[in-house]
Structure 1
Amino acid sequence: MRRFLGDTLSDKLEKVVSMDRFRSGRSLSPLRQAEAYWSALRTDDDVPLRSAIDPRGLENILPYAFILERIAPGVARFRLAGQHLTELTGMEVRGMPLTALFTSAARAEVGAVLEHMFDTPAVAELDLIAERRFALSPLEARMVLLPLKSDFGDTSRALGVLVAEGELGKRTSHSFDVTRSQLRDLNGEHTVPPAVVEEVPGLAEEPASFDGAPHLRLVASRDEV
């Protein structure tokens, strides 16, 4: 069992290494582009509206982009998703929960990240790695989640980007573990979810770093248009 804590110096140094472990900058560029677009839509330092998202503004990264809808505490489903996610899962993910992309061991952490992202609100960024049996070689990925408001004014939507690097192999269904998660509030400060799991001596794992923690298919249900 794990207790999520703030950064120590060693944690911070480890995260600097993890930021550089990807083989190219390809996985970072779409994330930075999405966050820059999201930031440009903000007014009065607030979260942008879902209705303000225009696919033309994300044209260069549409294969990696998706829209989430919060449907329960710690649960969000795909409303729209780019082709890259279809390639990773081997199926259309629209309507599926975000946690369907993750291993059972990672889902609790992903749920905590989602809940904190919507409630704070905050920007979430995750480093991921696919289960070994699902990849010919290590398949690494980066994900960013950017909170959005619905037309009702509640923060219950999110713009996301997921970019994976490595051999997909013939088997196209991949489940990811979280190797690092980070949350930043709207002022850019690192933040942590309030949920804490006490460590059980003798059964503890290494603490997880938790700073706080193509072609887009524009097919939406009527209430999303």
Structure 2
Amino acid sequence: MFGKSDEERDVVSMTDREKERRLAPIRLLEAYWHGLAAQSGAVPLRSQIDPRGIETALEYAFLAERIAPMLAKLRVAGTHLNEVMGMDTGGMPLSALFAPKDRDRLGEGVAQVFADGACVRAELRGEDGFGRSALSGHLLLLPLRSDMGDMTRMIGALVTSGRIGRTPRRFHIASMTVTPGFEIAPKPVAQAPHRVELAETPAPFKPAPRQSEKRPHLRLVISND
């Protein structure tokens, strides 16, 4: 009586489908990161990132470097970030994409990425104003290690929904989720075979005593008769 009819079960929400399509770059980047982490049992190195592994997400992805406990500088950024800001974002602080009152909150998340190896996800809302229509966004930040092994790099992605309109477009943080300290199982380490101590001291080898030589019981007698 209260179940869905066959027609209702066949209906596919276009809103959900559009959201899944929009978030596909973020899901791809996150799955790629987890794949690298599972291989080594640790936060991936910056040098392990192969653009071919995230080819369909490159437009929305970026690499950043720690310049202060709560600040990261964009080193490489996809074309979508340039479109949002209306300029080349390479070399800019990540905080430049956010409204001034939201930068401290972003900085708290950035600090946890570098200090704890945390994952940060944020729902964003674009600033309003003349020539700026409604714009929403999704942000993902993931930690990376430098070749020296220190956690001073990050990889992330920013996707938006709506017309960008007049640039630059900066964002407010509607919500933020921080997952601290990824629990990555370390790779098993081969252990040396365990030496088993004998319960008793082994007795020294003693050769058996020599037996005196005996004459053979049979003798060969040759007779020429």
Distance 1:168 1:22, change over 3 A: farther
Q: Which amino acid aligns with 1:183?
A: V
Distance 1:40 1:165, change over 3 A: same
RMSD of aligned residue pairs (Cα, Å) = 1.9
> For residues 93 and 118 of structure 1, what CA distance do their matches in structure 2 show?
21
> For residues 104 and 135 of structure 1, what CA distance do their matches in structure 2 show?
20
> For residues 153 and 135 of structure 1, what CA distance do their matches in structure 2 show?
45
1:93 aligns with 2:89: yes
SS at match of 1:163: strand
Report the TM-score, using the length of structure 2 for normalisation: 0.71
1:129 aligned to which of 125, 129, 133: 125
SS at match of 1:95: coil
Total equivalences in the alignment: 168
The answer to whether the Cα contact below 8 Å between 1:135 and 1:174 also exists between their aligned partners in 2 is no
1:72 aligned to which of 62, 68, 74: 68
Kindly provide the CA deviation profile for residues 147-187 of structure 1, in whole angstroms up to 9, marking residues without a partner as x: 00000100110110000110112x12101000011111303
Q: Which runs of 5+ in 1 are unaligned?
A: 1-19, 189-225
1:39 aligns with 2:34: yes
> For residues 163 and 32 of structure 2, what CA distance do their matches in structure 1 show?
29
The answer to whether the Cα contact below 8 Å between 1:128 and 1:178 also exists between their aligned partners in 2 is yes
Distance 1:74 1:117, change over 3 A: same
* Equivalent residue, structure 2, for 1:149: 145
* Equivalent residue, structure 2, for 1:165: 161
> For residues 136 and 41 of structure 2, what CA distance do their matches in structure 1 show?
33
Deviation beyond 2 Å, 4+ runs, structure 1: 20-27, 134-137
Greater CA radius of gyration, 1 or 2? Answer: 2
> For residues 107 and 131 of structure 2, what CA distance do their matches in structure 1 show?
25
> For residues 154 and 21 of structure 2, what CA distance do their matches in structure 1 show?
22
Q: Which runs of 5+ in 2 are unaligned?
A: 1-14, 185-225
* Equivalent residue, structure 1, for 2:169: 174
